[in-house]
Amino acid sequence: MLVQLQQTFPNIDEEIISDALKCFNQNVETIKRILTWLTENTTNLQQQQHLMQLFKSVGNRLDKTTISQTWKNCNQIYVDTFEKLREICTTSNLNELNTYNISLLLKEKDELKIYREMCLHILWNILKYPKHIKYRQIHKQALYNYLFQKCHVLCVDFEDVFISLEKILEMIGFKKGNDDNWYYQYHHIQLLHLWECYRYWINGQVMYVFILVVNKTININI
C-alpha cells in the first residue's frame, strides 16, 4: 500500500505517508483525502510534517479547511498556527457546551446536580494538580460505579445520565481510549479552557441555587 500511495502522491514524502498509514489504521480513503489536502497546502517536507502534526492535534475537533486557512493566515508558521487553532478550539468548545447545556436545563434538578458535582470535581483536580497524570485519567468502572450509585440514590435514569456525562467529558477535553477508560487528550494542559469550564459549572450551580430560593419564596407567598 505504501508503494501505491507513493506513486499516487509523488510530492508527499515517504515519512509522511508512513505516518498517515499508522495514524489512520491504513484506511485508504481517509489517507488519500489527507494526502491530497497536504499536497494542496504544502511545498516541502517540513511543511508537510507541520501540517500533518496540526491535523493530528486538532483534526478531531476542527475541519481541514479551518486548519489550512489558519495555517495560511499565520504564514505557515507552525507555532503561531498551533496557538491560533487552540484558541479556536477553546471558543468552539465553550459555545458547544453552552448549546448542549440548554437541553440539560430541561432535565430534572437531580441529574444536573450529578453533572455539576462530577465536572467540578474533575476540573478542580486537574487545575489544582496540573502535573499529576492520575487526575487526567478516569477509569471506566470507577465512573460507572459512581454514577450508578448516585442515580440509584436520586432515582434518576442511569443510562441517560451516563450518555450525557460522556458528552460533557468530550467537551472538557477527554477522549475515550481503546480500553474504554477516559484520558485527557492534550499533553499540555489547556488551563484557560479548563478554567472557563470550571467557572461555567460554578456559575450554573449558583444560578440553580438562586432559582430554588426564588421558587421556594414564591411558593411560600402563594
pLDDT in tens, 112-122: 888 888 899 99
Query: Quick check: 215 pLDDT over 90?
Result: no
Question: What is the model's pLDDT at position 125?
Answer: 92
Query: Quick check: 183 pLDDT over 90?
Result: yes
Q: What is the pLDDT of residues 35-44, one digit of tens each?
A: 999 999 988 9
pLDDT, average across residues 86-95: 73
Of 5-9, 55-59, 99-103, give the lowest mean pLDDT range.
99-103
- Residue boundaries of the structural domains of the chain: 2-84, 107-221
pLDDT, average across residues 76-89: 84
Query: Quick check: 68 pLDDT over 60?
Result: yes
Question: What is the model's pLDDT at position 189?
Answer: 81
Strand partners, 174: 184
Question: What is the model's pLDDT at position 100?
Answer: 58
Q: Do 21 and 2 contact (CB within 8 A), yes or no?
A: yes
Query: Which CATH code for domain 107-221?
Result: 1.20.58.2190
Of 110-114, 192-196, 212-216, give the lowest mean pLDDT range.
212-216
Which of 25-29, 109-113, 217-221 ranks highest by mean pLDDT? Answer: 25-29
Query: Quick check: 129 pLDDT over 60?
Result: yes
Question: What is the model's pLDDT at position 36?
Answer: 93
Single pTM value for the model: 0.47
pLDDT grade, residue 106 (50/70/90)?
very low
pLDDT, average across residues 81-87: 85
